[in-house]
Amino acid sequence: MSRPDEIQANLERAESSFQAAQLLLASGFADDAASRAYYAAFHAASALLVSRGLNFNSHAGVLRAISLNFVKTGQLDRSMGKDLNWLAELRQLSDYGELRRVSRANAEEALVIAARFMSAVRAVLEP
Set out the domains of the chain in order of their start, with CATH numbers. 3-125 (1.20.120.330)
Q: pLDDT (tens digit, 9 = 90+) per residue, 7-64?
A: 999 999 999 999 999 999 999 999 999 999 999 999 999 999 999 999 888 999 999 9
Which phi and psi (to 5°) does residue 27 adopt?
A: -95, 0
In angstroms, rounded to a whole number, what is the distance separating the alpha carbons of residues 25 and 36?
A: 10
End-to-end CA, the chain: 23
Q: pLDDT (tens digit, 9 = 90+) per residue, 66-97?
A: 999 999 999 999 999 999 999 999 999 999 98
In angstroms, rounded to a whole number, what is the distance separating the alpha carbons of residues 23 and 19?
A: 6
Predicted structure pTM score: 0.94
Q: Which run of H or of E encompasses 40?
A: helix 30-51
